[in-house]
A and B are shown apart, each in its own frame.
Chain A
Amino acid sequence: MHIPDGYLSPATCGAFGVVMVPIWARAGRGVRKVVTSRYVPLVAIGAAYCFVVMMFNVPIPDGTTAHAVGGVLIAVLLGRWAAVIAVSVALLIQALFFGDGGVLAFGANAFNMAFVMPMVGYGVYQLLTRRVSLTSPRRAAAAGLGGYIGLNVAALVTAVEFGLQPTLFHTADGTPLYAPFHLGQTIPTMALAHLAVAGFVEAILTAGVIAYLQRANLPVLRINHSGVATTDEDLVAAPKLGWRWIAVGMGTMIALTPLGLVAPGSAFGEAAPKALNLRKYHLNAVPDGLRRYAGWWHHTIFNGYDFANDKHPAIGYLISAVFGILAIAIVIAIVLGSLGVYRRHQRPDRIPA
């Protein structure tokens, strides 16, 4: 999921860089408020830990191995704002020293893996652990599910970033200037890889570490769970849910996607409709080809594409661009929806501390 330099247009990189600055500033304040001067070593060693977690090879059932990102794990252990900084720092070190992820693309990579992933994953984790004791197996499972969903949403956002490139940045004769694959190809490919393999690795590691710490090192789990009851018997009051921040995170994601759409138009003056007319593609072949490897997934997408190809190219252009926003909106709707339902259920039987 690490995007190297050269895959994204400078406008996209710039947009994500601009979006990340206030997020980092907010994260810095968020962490400092909790641990005051101790935050420097805590976050620094958290970042080192995150870097090291990316080196853990996890055996998966077919006999091979893969490794996790660890964004949600750090969020559960140190809190979501600490995770934003820790993962960002780990990504920067990888970008500078190991050519893993670009330097210009650092903002985009940080957005995907250091912001979207921990925020979404931690949001899921918090939703599922509202009235769950610290030693409950549900907590480890919730962390694992948070890891799975966090990673997949991050992968989806990455796929959208990739997939918008050829639509937005191409020469007059249709030559893609950056990543050449369209949303219709990037989303199913990324989704397949992450839903089927990487997500499970992330889940296994996240849940496994939490389960281990529940058994072997409970005080360490307390760093980010100070008010949580140890066992089910001690359970009195639920911890405060940071749902507002999930909403803010999601909102930023929505806000950002059209930004990527708008920015290049003004920056480079690309005449989109004219360029599009030149792209009277042989795209009819794609649905058949893709159906072979993506199965159920592409129906939604390719209805849009056929529509674009045959009759209204300009609308198709928009549809393909907006697809990512829709996909994200669906995720938000599900998360916020369940949140709302959950809150309605929770409020009446909430016991004051």
Chain B
Amino acid sequence: MSTAALAPEWLTAREIALCPCGCIGKRRKANFVEKTIIGAANVLKQAMFSADVASQPGLLQRIQPAVKVVTMLALLMATAVVRHLSILVALYAATLAIAVASGLPLWFFVKRVWLFIPIFTGVIVVPATLNLITPGRVVIPLGTWFGHSVGVTAQGLTSAGLIVARVATSISLVVLLTLTTPWNKLLAALRTMRVPKMFVLVLGMAYRYIFYLLETVTDMYTARKSRTANHRNNTSSGRAFVAATAGATFGKAHALSIEVHDAMVARGYTGNARSIDHFQIVKRDVVWVLACSVTIAATLGVNYALGS
């Protein structure tokens, strides 16, 4: 299967340490060293993979980045406003069509979007379908609990459907944008959109040095791993090691920031950001904008017609 070749094994076994609920983390029995290294490696692979996809020919790849950013934001807002499941499903189907037209393997795209957040959302909204949380017309009675009847409500089911469909559509739109736009073009698009150049400079530099710092961290962890092959993680020494690694990394990061500043000043930087990019809107961009406008107008129109 061609998609299997395109979607490397890390995508299917994706367990980036950046979990959707951020700080709670995943509570799984695994060595913290291993998890940190895997997380770091995944970020790198994902970035390289995105860069490869973005350079392939396809529908979205041919649209000017700034135009893409604006239309994607408009579509995101339309998605957020919609309150009917049927419209959301139609919008989601549209993102699938665009993905295919942009040369993204369908199955890969679906997996990339649904793992992990929409599925996670689906799981956490299950309790919200009960009348305990979302009152309404009970369609599936489940019995009684402490003298109260418990059941799944029509409102609860609709609500769960709405949120999962909306989350999936929103993520699809963002993934479509970032997978078909090289990072530097995206930054350039932000600049043309009057996002302060200084902010774009910071953003670009931050992204660039994530990889450098990840490498530093991975090296430190690998060194530790080679020394602690036999005994399982000892929690308190593990914590001390994490703190030392994070602390040492900050020391390196700060030294690096001074060096980078020197390198910038040496080449004439005085606090103003300048950039080389210039954009030209061509016919296909106009067509794309029109198509998106029609989609958004239709979405909002149908949404209004169906009422609340």
Query: Taking beta carbons and an 8 Å cutoff, which residues of A are in contact with B?
Result: 1-2, 4-7, 9-10, 13, 24, 28, 36-38, 40-49, 51-61, 63-69, 73, 77, 85-86, 89-90, 92-104, 113, 151, 155, 166, 171-182, 185, 193-194, 197-198, 201-202, 204-205, 207-213, 216-217, 220, 223, 279-286, 288-289
Q: Which residues of A contact B134 (CB under 8 A)?
A: 166, 174-176, 180
- Cα A141 to Cα B134 in complex, Å, equals 43
Beyond A37-B270, A179-B163, is A172–B233 a contact (Cβ under 8 Å)?
Answer: no
Known contacts A55-B214, A280-B135, A99 near B175 by CB under 8 Å: yes
| Selected A-B contacts with CB under 8 Å, 12 pairs | A38-B258, A40-B261, A48-B207, A48-B253, A93-B210, A102-B170, A171-B83, A171-B308, A176-B163, A180-B156, A194-B23, A280-B135
B56 at the interface (CB under 8 A from A): no
User: In the bound complex, do residue B206 and residue A47 qualify as a contact, i.e. CB atoms below 8 Å apart?
Assistant: yes
Q: Is the interface of B mostly helix, strand, loop or mixed?
A: helix
- Find out whether the CB atom of B47 lies under 8 angstroms from the CB atom of A97: yes
Do B32 and A65 touch (CB < 8 A)?
yes
| Residue contact A77 to B250, C-beta cutoff 8 Å | yes
Indicate if the CB atoms of A198 and B39 lie closer than 8 Å: no
In contact, A98 and B80 (Cβ under 8 angstroms) = no
In the assembled complex, B267 has its CB within 8 A of some CB on chain A: no
Contacts of B43 in A (CB 8 A): 55, 98
The answer to whether B148 touches A285 (Cβ under 8 A) is yes
Binds A, one of B5-13, B99-107, B241-249: B241-249
B145 and A7 contact, CB distance less than 8 A: no
B residues engaging A (CB < 8 A)? 16-30, 32-33, 35-36, 39-40, 43, 46-47, 50, 73, 76-77, 79-81, 83, 113, 117, 121, 125, 128, 131-137, 145-146, 148-150, 154-156, 158-160, 162-163, 166-167, 169-171, 174-175, 177-178, 186, 196, 198-199, 201-210, 212-214, 217, 233, 235, 238-240, 242-251, 253-254, 256-258, 260-261, 264-265, 269-271, 273, 308
Chain B contacts of A57 at CB under 8 A?
17, 25, 32-33, 35-36, 39, 242
Contacting residue for A104 out of B77, B148, B244, CB 8 A: B77
- Does B155 contact A173, Cβ atoms closer than 8 Å? yes
Least CB separation from B241: chain A residue: A59
CB of A285 within 8 A of CB of B132, answer yes
- Name the one of B46, B154, B238 contacting A98, with C-beta atoms under 8 angstroms: B46
Given that A10-B77, A103-B174 are known contacts, is A208 also in contact with B239, CB under 8 Å in the complex? yes
On whether the beta carbons of A41 and B264 are closer than 8 Å, the reply is yes
Which of B22, B76, B81, B125 interacts with A5 by CB under 8 Å?
A: B76
Taking A7-B163, A44-B209 as known contacts, 12 extra A-B pairs with beta carbons closer than 8 A to each other, sorted by chain A number, are A6-B79, A28-B196, A37-B270, A56-B246, A63-B29, A65-B32, A66-B27, A197-B24, A216-B244, A216-B248, A279-B135, A282-B149
Query: Closest Cβ of chain A: how far from B172's Cβ, in Å?
Result: 10
**In the assembled complex, which residues on chain B have CB atoms less than 8 Å from the CB atom of A284?**
148
Find chain A residues with CB under 8 A from B245 CB. 56
Q: Are A182's CB and B253's CB within 8 A?
A: no
**Chain B residues with CB below 8 A from A40, complex form:** 198, 201-202, 205, 261, 264, 271, 273
Is the pair A55, B40 in contact by a Cβ cutoff of 8 Å?
Answer: yes
Q: What CA separation (Å) do A96 and B247 show in the bound complex?
A: 27
Contacts of B203 in A (CB 8 A): 44, 47, 89, 92-93
B308–A172 contact, CB under 8 A? Answer: yes
Contact check, A66 vs B24: say whether CB atoms are below 8 A apart: yes
Contacts of B50 in A (CB 8 A): 97
| Contact indicator B133/A182 (Cβ below 8 Å) | yes
With A40-B201, A220-B254 in contact, is A204–B128 under 8 Å at CB? no
A285 and B22 in contact (CB under 8 A), knowing A55-B39, A55-B43? no
Known A-B contacts A180-B156, A204-B239, A205-B243; A99 and B117 likewise in contact (beta carbons under 8 Å): yes
Contact A56 B36, beta carbon cutoff 8 Å: yes
Partner of B23, one of A52, A151, A207: A151
Q: For the complex, what is the distance from the CA of A1 to the CA of B35, rounded to whole Å? A: 20
Instruction: Please tell me which one of the listed residues A41, A173, A177, A216 contacts residue B136 in the complex, with CB atoms under 8 A apart.
Output: A173
Whole-angstrom CA separation of A174 from B135 in the bound complex: 7
